A and B are shown apart, each in its own frame.
Chain A
Amino acid sequence: MPVESSFMHLVRPNVAAPGVPSATGPSSVKIHAPAVFQILEIISKQVLSSDKRIIGTLLGIRSDDGSEFEIRDAFMVPCNETGDSLSIEDSTHKTLYQLYKKAHPKESVLGWFGSSNQIDNTTGLIHDFYSKGSDRAYPYPAIYLNVEYLKDGQISSPELSVYIGAAVGKPIATNVPIGWKTASTNNSYIFTPIPHHVINGSVTEKIAFNTLKEKSVNTTSFVLDSDYSFLSSQLEQVTANIDRLIQEIDTKVASGAASDRELDLLRLLSSTLLNKPQLLTNLAELERLFRDHNQDVIMIEYLTKAVKEQIELSARLTANAEADKKY
C-alpha cells in the first residue's frame, strides 16, 4: 500500500557514506508487515509508560547500490536523554545485533526508528551514531523511520515516514593532522523524506494479515472460525456485487447522460463481459474449450521440458569435456 505524500522524490541525495556511489535514481523502502507490528508494539508499549524518546535498530537487506531498502525486523535499544546530552546503550545494540546476525547472516543494520514529533539536533546525533562505527550501517547510509504515535499527548493513528540523511558541508575531512578534532564528527544532515510502502513477504503472511485486518478492526474480540468454504463465500460475494451493479445500471440508464466515471465503467464492463457469459451457459462449448486449453498447456509444458533437458544435457556435456581436458 503506497502512502500518499506531499513530498517529491526524484533522485537519492548525496550521502556521506563511502560504501555507495552517488545516485542517479530514486530510493525506496519496503517495510515487511511483521516489522511494522514489531515497531508499533515497541513504541506503543514504551511511549505511554515513560514519556521519552524511544529508539531502536532496523534490520534487513539493501540493494548493491544502496538505494533500495527492505526492513524485515527491528529491536529496541534503550537510550537516555537528559537535557542536551544523550546516551545510547551501545552494548545492548551490539549483543542483540550479533544474536540476530547468527540467525540471519545475510541481513544487516539499515538504520534506526524513533517516535518523535519533530526532527532536531538529537535526531542528528542518533543518526550519526547509526551512520558510523562498526556493527551499524557504515559504510552504507543509514535510514531513519519515524513513527508519529502521540499527537499532543493523545494516541493517534500511527504515521510512518522514512528519511535518508543527506550530507551538508564537506563530507570527509582531508589532511587533518592526527589528534585534531576532525570534521567527520560533525552531525549535520538534511533529512530528506523517501517513499516507503508496507509489504507482505509471503502468501501466508498476506492471508493472516488480511484476516486480522478484517476481523480485528472495530471489534473488541473475535473467534476464528474453522469453516473455510471459500468457493461458496466467493460466489456469494460475486453475486452480491452483480446485484449492486445491476441496480446501479438501472439508475444510470434512467438518468441519461453519462459522466466520465460511468463511461469508464461501461468501457470496462462491455469489453470484458459481452463475449464471456455465453460460455457459462453453454456447457458443451465450455467443456470443449477447457479440453483444448488443457491440451495447449500440456503442449507448452512438454516443450518447456524438452528445452530444459536439452540445456541440462549440454551443461553436463560441457562439464564432462572440461573435466576431460584436465587429465
Chain B
Amino acid sequence: MASVIVVDSELSDSLKEYAHIIDAANQNTELSSALQPLVTGQDISDKQAVIAQLYKHSGAETLRKLTDKEFEPSVYLLIHILTQLSPSTLDDASSPLFKIILETNPSEQPTIRDRKSIKSTTVLSILNTIFNLLPETSKTRTYILSQILHVVKVSNLDFSLIEKSIGLRLITWLKQSGSSDEEIRSTFWKFITLDSRFSAKSLNLIKSFTATYPLNASELAQLITFSLSSDVVDVSFLVNNNVSNALGANSQDKLVGIFTKFVQGELVQVTESEAEGLPFEKINAKSRILSLAKFFSEQSSSAEHDSIIFKYNEIPNVSSTEDFETLLVDAIKSGVIEGKLNQVEETFYLTRVNRFVLAGNDQQNAKNWADVRTALLEWRNSLTNINEIVKSSRENIVNSSN
C-alpha cells in the first residue's frame, strides 16, 4: 500500500476548512463568500465552478503567505478536495495543481532569520506524497520524478537526499510507468549530473545502468567526465561490455583516448588545455597510482620476479624515496593497493593489488581466468591440509583428556 488519505469529514466541511485557511492568509473572506452560493448544505451543484474558484484563490502568491508548518497540510487538504471533486486531478501532468506547487518553491534558500517561510524540502515532500498517491503504472509519475530532480537542481539541495531513495529504484519506477528507453536514459543522466561530489555510489549506479542500456557518444562523454572527476581512483569496473563497445565506436575522440589509457593503467599526463574543464591535476595524480598498480600486478605475476617483495629502486616513474612513499600511501588510501612498507630495508610487501579487468580484452581475460583457476586450486589444497590438521589436533585433545 502506498500513501492513503484519510479524512473523517464531509467534503463541504473540508471546503469550509480550506476556505478558512486561505482567507486567514489573505485576511479577507473572498474564497468563503465565493464558495457559499456553490455549496448548499452537503450538496455541491457545480463541481467545475468550485474547482475554478479553488484554483483562482490558491495561487502561489497566496500559498507563500502560509508558514512552512501550515503549507504542507493545506496543500494536502487541497489535493483531497480536488480528488474528491474530480478523481483524475492528480493523474494529469498538465493540472494547474502542479504548477502552483512548483511555483511556491522558494527560489532562494530561506535565511536563518525567517524560520517560518516555506522550505524546498517541504515542496519535495509534497511531490513525494503525490508520487506515492499515484498508481505505479501512471505516466504522471515520470513527470513528478523529473520535477523532483528539477527542484533539487534549482534549490541546490544535497544530492545525498535523493541518492539512495531515488537512485536504486529510478529505473524500475520509470519502467513501471511505461516510459520509453529514450526517456529512461535521459532521466537517468539528468539524475546523475546532479551529483556534484561524484561519489562512488553514483559510479555504481552508472555501472548497473550501463549494463542494461547501451551508450551514445554524449552519454559516454558524460560517463568519462564523471568518472575522471570522481575521487574514486580505479574506475576500470565501469568498463563493461556496453561501455567497451561505446569506447570502441568513439575511439577517435580525444577524451575517449585519455580514458582508455587511464583505465588500462597507462601513465596519463593531461595538460590544462587538453583537460577541457576537467580537474587535470587530480587525473594526473590518479593516473600515477593506477600505473603503479599496473606495475605491481604485472611484475607479481611474471615468472622472473618475486611475487610479493619489491625494492624501492625497481619502481618506475618516481623521483625519490619520499616521492614513492607518498604515492604508495595515496594508493593504499584509495584502496587500489594493499601491503606493508619496510622503510629500513626499503622494501614493500605487496598483499593485494587491483587488476584491471576490462570488457573486450578477451585474451588478457582468458589468461586471468587461468591464473585465478590455478590460485583457487592451490588454495583448495592448502585448505584440505589445514582441515586435516584441525581435525587431528581436535582428536588429540579429546584423546589426551580421556
Contacts and interface: CB of A to CB of B under 8 A. Distances in A.
Contact of B390 (A26, A232, A256, A276): A232
A7 B354 CA distance: 38
Q: Which of B119, B128, B384 has the most CB of A within 10 A?
A: B128
Contact of A188 (B7, B132, B371): B7
Given A170-B70, A235-B386, A276-B352, A190 B5 contact: yes
Interface in A187-223: 187-193, 195
B2 A188 contact: no
Given A22-B119, A235-B386, A161 B1 contact: yes
Contacts of A264: 237
B77 A169 contact: yes
A267 B237 contact: yes
Contact of A10 (B20, B80, B166): B166
B392 to A, nearest CB: 11
B112 interface: no
Interface string B375-388: 11111101110110
Interface in B345-382: 349-355, 357, 359, 362, 365-366, 368-373, 375-380, 382
A246 B377 contact: yes
A82 interface: no
A119 to B, nearest CB: 4
B365 A266 contact: yes
Contacts of A125: 8
B170 to A, nearest CB: 10
A156 to B, nearest CB: 15
A26 B128 CA distance: 11
B3 A169 contact: no
A34 interface: no
A294 interface: no
Contact of B352 (A166, A192, A231, A272): A272
A6 B237 CA distance: 29
28 contacts: A5-B169, A8-B165, A8-B173, A11-B121, A11-B161, A14-B71, A23-B121, A119-B1, A121-B6, A169-B7, A169-B17, A170-B73, A183-B17, A187-B8, A190-B6, A232-B394, A239-B383, A246-B376, A263-B357, A263-B359, A267-B236, A267-B237, A270-B368, A272-B352, A274-B301, A276-B375, A278-B308, A280-B378
Contacts of A119: 1, 4, 6
Interface in A32-77: none
B369 A249 contact: yes
A273 interface: yes
Nearest to B145: A8
Contacts of B174: none
B318 interface: no
Contacts of B351: 275-276
Interface of A: 5-14, 16, 22-26, 118-121, 123-125, 146, 161, 166-171, 183, 186-193, 195, 229, 231-232, 235-236, 238-239, 242-243, 245-246, 249-250, 252-253, 256-260, 263-264, 266-267, 269-281, 285, 289, 292
Closest 6 CB pairs of A and B: A124-B6, A14-B72, A167-B73, A267-B357, A11-B125, A119-B4
Contacts of A250: 373
B226 interface: no
Given A263-B359, A275-B353, A235 B370 contact: no
Nearest to A259: B241
Given A119-B4, A235-B387, A281 B382 contact: yes
B325 interface: no
B66 to A, nearest CB: 10
Interface of B: 1-9, 14, 17-18, 20-21, 68-74, 76-77, 80, 119, 121-122, 124-126, 128-129, 131-132, 136, 148, 161-162, 165-166, 169, 172-173, 176, 211, 236-237, 240-242, 297, 300-301, 307-308, 340, 349-355, 357, 359, 362, 365-366, 368-373, 375-380, 382-384, 386-387, 390-391, 394
Contacts of B176: 6
Contacts, number: 251
B359 A260 contact: yes
B12 to A, nearest CB: 14
A170 B6 contact: no
A170 B74 contact: yes
B19 to A, nearest CB: 11
A184 B310 CA distance: 75
Contacts of A189: 5-6
Contacts of A171: 69-70, 73
Contacts of A252: 369
A274 B372 contact: yes
Q: Which of B124, B161, B365 has the most CB of A within 10 A?
A: B365
Contacts of B237: 264, 267
Contacts of B349: 289
Contacts of B9: 186, 188
B162 A275 contact: no
B4 A266 contact: no
Nearest to A185: B8
Given A161-B1, A249-B376, 7 more contacts: A13-B72, A14-B72, A22-B68, A169-B14, A236-B387, A238-B383, A253-B366
A24 B6 CA distance: 24
A231 B297 CA distance: 32
B180 to A, nearest CB: 20
B357 A270 contact: yes
Contact of A275 (B8, B307, B390): B307
Given A10-B148, A22-B122, A271-B353, A245 B376 contact: yes
